[in-house]
């Protein structure tokens, strides 16, 4: 049995996930908590915020994030990819700055105009 706090909404329900019984989740206030609890123990993922170098912008770095949550095991390698690129202003919020991170089909996108 693993205990964790649901981070899907501010309520922060205390979940218990029973790995020995099909990852049964209890303590969740809604269905999203059940999905989160199961996923957190089988294939945990996160949206990854970071920054990337930008040429000609107001600041030297542009804030970015992954377009969808990616596997936690890939986060370190995904961040390293950002060190290999430099984007050029102007960039619009939502623009793709790095496509198909590590073959996942997930992109890094800009989170502001610059």
- x-marked contacts with ligand SF4 along 12-41 as a string, rule CB under 6 A: xx--------------xxx-xx--------
Segment (H or E) for 54: strand 49-55
Determine if 8 is a binding residue for ligand SF4 (CB under 6 A): yes
Nearer to ligand SF4, 9 or 96 (CB): 9
Contacts of residue 54, Cβ cutoff 8 Å, sequence gap at least 6: 60, 61, 62, 86, 87, 88, 89, 91, 114
Nearer to ligand SF4, 16 or 112 (CB): 16
- Report the C-alpha dihedral over residues 52, 66, 10, 40, rounded to 10 degrees: -130
Binding site for ligand SF4 (CB under 6 A): 6, 8-9, 11-13, 28-30, 32-33
């Amino acid at each position: 049995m693993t205990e964790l706090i649901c981070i899907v909404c501010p309520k922060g329900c205390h979940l218990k996930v029973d790995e020995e019984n099909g990852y049964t989740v209890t303590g969740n206030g809604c269905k999203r908590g059940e999905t989160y609890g199961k996923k957190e123990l089988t294939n945990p993922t996160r949206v990854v915020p970071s920054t990337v170098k930008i040429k000609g912008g107001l600041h030297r770095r542009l804030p970015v994030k992954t377009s969808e949550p990616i596997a936690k095991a890939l986060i370190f390698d995904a961040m390293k990819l950002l060190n290999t690129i430099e984007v050029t202003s102007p960039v619009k919020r939502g623009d793709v700055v790095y496509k198909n991170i590590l073959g996942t089909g997930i992109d890094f996108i800009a989170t502001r105009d610059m």
